[in-house]
Amino acid sequence: MEQSVAASRSDLCGSQIRMDREIFMDLVVTTMGSLFEDTVGSGEAGGFISLVGLAVGEKIQEEYLQASGASHFDRRGMIDALLDMKRRIGSDFYVVEETEQRIVLGNRRCPFGELAKKCPSLCMLTANVCGHLAAESQGYARVDLPETIAAGASECRIVINLDPDTPGGGRRHHRRAWA
C-alpha cells in the first residue's frame, strides 16, 4: 500500500520549482490558445487571436505615441516602436531589409518560447501588431509570416508589404482616419 506524504510550505519555498509571473502568463496564454485551436480549429483560433492582436496593437500604438508626444509615427518611428516593443517582451527582432515597398523583419527569439510550437496561431498576435502599427504609419500594410519559430524555423521572418499592388499573400491592414 502506497503511503501519502504531505508537503509543507517550508518544503516548497526552497525548492527548485520553475514558476514566476512570466512562466505563469506563458502557460495561461499558450494553454488558452491550444485549447481554442483544439476546440474550434486552427483557422478559427487564428481569426480570434488576430482580433486580439489588433486590439493589442492599438493599445501599444497609444502607449508609444503618448510617450513620444506625437500624433502618428513616421516610417522610422514605426520601425523603432516595433523593435523596441518586441525587445521589451523578450523577442529579438531586427531589420533584415527595408525598401520603399516593404520591410522585412527577423526574429531570433519567440516571446512565448517553446510553448508557441503548441499554439502556432499565437503568431497572429505578431502579424496584427506589426500590421496595425505599419498601416497606421504608412496608410497600408500587408503582413506575411513565411517562416516562424512556432512552425519549426530557426528564426521568424515578418514581411510587411507597404504597396497594395505588390502580389502575394498575407493579412491586409488599412489606416483608420486620423482625428
Domain that holds residue 148: 20-174
**Domain annotation covers residue 126:** yes
What is the reported pLDDT for 124? 84
**What's the CA dihedral at 43, 48, 50, 56 to 10 degrees?**
-160
Rg (the chain; Cα; Å): 19
pLDDT of residue 37: 77
CA separation for the pair 86, 98 (Å, rounded): 18
**Closest residue by Cα to residue 98 from 114, 122, 82, 115:** 82
Has residue 12 been placed in a domain?
A: no
Which grid coordinates are listed for 160?
A: 510587411
* Model pLDDT, residue 133: 93
Q: Are 116 and 123 in contact (CB under 8 A)?
A: yes
Q: What is the pLDDT along the chain (179 residues), one digit of tens a residue?
A: 566 665 555 555 656 777 788 778 777 777 777 787 788 877 777 777 778 888 888 899 999 999 999 988 999 999 999 999 999 988 999 999 999 999 999 999 998 877 778 778 788 888 889 999 999 999 999 999 999 999 999 999 999 999 999 888 888 989 886 54
pLDDT score at 99:
95
Residue 121 is part of a domain; what is its CATH number? Answer: 3.30.1380.20
Residue 158 is assigned to a structural domain of this protein: yes
Res 179: pLDDT: 47
**6: helix, coil or strand?**
coil
Cell 499554439 belongs to which residue?
119
Q: What is the domain count for the chain?
A: 1
Amino acid at 160: I
pTM of the model as a whole: 0.79
